[in-house]
Structure 1
Amino acid sequence: MIIAFIVSGVFFRYFYLREDSVRRIRSEAEARVQALQSRIRPHFLFNSLNTLANLAAVDPIKTEQMILDMADIFRASMKRSDVLIPFSEEKQLCQQYLSLESQRLGDRLTVEWQVNYIADNLLVPPLLLQPLLENAVYHGIQKHPDGGTIRIKGVSYQKYIQLEITNPLPPADVEDHKGNSMALKNIQQRLEVLYGNKAQLSYHQAQNQFYCIVKIPKQL
């Protein structure tokens, strides 16, 4: 009985330490994700403020709308990353972001949404698509002399949804930096914390286009 008691004590102590370790790792991972999510890229902020400064004297009404759109984006960046939101909210946020960039880039930026198969009430992580669209603008449209089109496609399967963002690649002689891969790694880390190995982020280049594909479990 004494031996059985000792073995039981060791057994329960092991599982307690294991669960405590798992909770600590999850907590640390969530803290990292919150830190990553709360960052607003400086170039987006500076570009938007410069656009507002130039627009304020010309079109006060449009300036006010830009300020409201920026406020919504900042507000979304402060939400908990583990609280899912309807896809319609994420799409609205992305449209507000792209509207801000359109004020700066003009006709150089065009956008095509093909997401009719994604239900509006389907739950997704906040700021799932917006950073990827920001990547597409900053590393694709902005650096291309002729600009181009960003396409957002959505497909709904039985157990998961797939979202694909494509943008033109800039000419080979245009200088780029590592911010692209860093942003993608940040999104990958968020997906791992939220879904484990049930979500997937992949990307590739083909025919002068950059493709970014996100797959997440379907949740309503």
Structure 2
Amino acid sequence: MSQPLRAVLGEDQAIVREGIVAILLRAGIDVAAAVDNAADLVRAAREHRPEVVITDIRMPPGLADDGLRAAQEIRATQPETAVIVLSQFLDASYALDLVGDDPSGVGYLLKEKVASPRVLTDAVERVVARGSALDPDVISALLGRKRPEDPLAALTPKEREVLALMAEGHSNTGISARLFVSVAAVERHVTGIFLKLGLSQTASGQHRRVMAVLRYLGQ
């Protein structure tokens, strides 16, 4: 029998922390530690070597972006550990800072979404499998940025939908299921998107594809 996934949680609000622990336990995920500050989060991750770390951005001691910086440190020192950051605020720059040069094993969710247990557990499954799970509202914010000359304007409505799902970290098969179209149709849309945005056709791997899109959106 396979061992359950192990998680370490960082959240300074006790009620929220207990709620997330309950969601994880109900999903069969073992919570090795649940701490309320960034320093203890790094220590707990180092001690328990969990498959996933879940953390709020704003935590003691600074109550600024301490949780985000702890997540970045964990990613740098424990690349085998997936990381999901929870944010109370819609700030796309936080997501881009977390992703850095590698979107694999990374999740960024708005905290309000975690009220739906499946959102969190789905994100855990995706990042532990070395995929990415970026909040749709964050991607929408990046897509909606104003640019003097915006190549996104050349995309069809369906291509914009596909682009958003690509940036969230969905595979062609996943996009197909969400949009109720064939995988072949998704592949055609992806090809059209890359051509119109001038993105490298060599970005065929899932991680490279997400990274190419995020780099474009973050410009």
TM bucket (normalised to shorter chain) is: under 0.3
* TM-score, scaled to structure 1: 0.25
Higher radius of gyration, 1 or 2: 1
In the superposition, the TM-score normalised over structure 2's length comes to: 0.25
More strand per residue: 1
